[in-house]
Amino acid sequence: MHESGTAQLIDVRRPAEVEAGHIAGSVHIEMTEVGARTEEIATDRPVIFYCRVGARSAFVTEAFRNAGYEAHNMTGGLAAWVEQGLPIEPEDGSVAPE
């Protein structure tokens, strides 16, 4: 869904984690700010939330599903993304520890 542009990808990690490495094209909205920034979250297409391993984003996903969004959690988070050999930015980026 991300590659085709049919979904919005939202990184809910802390700023230092995002600076260490993130998925290109994702929007950063820290977990603690998501509720206050809902106007930035798509209502007309699926939304995929991610964090380091999927725990924080699972919490956010559930809240948005309950609010009527087509919300999905990226299973395994950024760690699984990188383990699959998928690219992150910057090129020499890494998955920051929590």
CA nearest 53: which of 36, 31, 73?
73
Domains of the chain plus CATH, in order, are 8-83 (3.40.250.10)
The type of residue at 14 is R
pLDDT band at 1 (very low <50, low <70, confident <90, very high): low
| 92, pLDDT greater than 80 | yes
Least confident of 3-12, 16-25, 64-73, 87-96: 3-12
**Residues 38-59, buried b or exposed e (16+ Cβ, 10 A)?**
eeebeeeeebbbbbbbbebbbb
| 2, pLDDT greater than 70 | no
**2 vs 39, higher pLDDT:** 39
pLDDT more than 90, % of the chain:
92
- What pTM value is reported for the model? 0.93
| 3, pLDDT greater than 80 | no
For residue 28, the SS3 value is strand
* Predicted local confidence at residue 30, as pLDDT: 97
Judged on CB neighbours under 10 Å (0-12, 13-18, 19+), 8 is buried
With a CB cutoff of 8 Å and minimum separation 6, the contacts of 40 are 27, 29
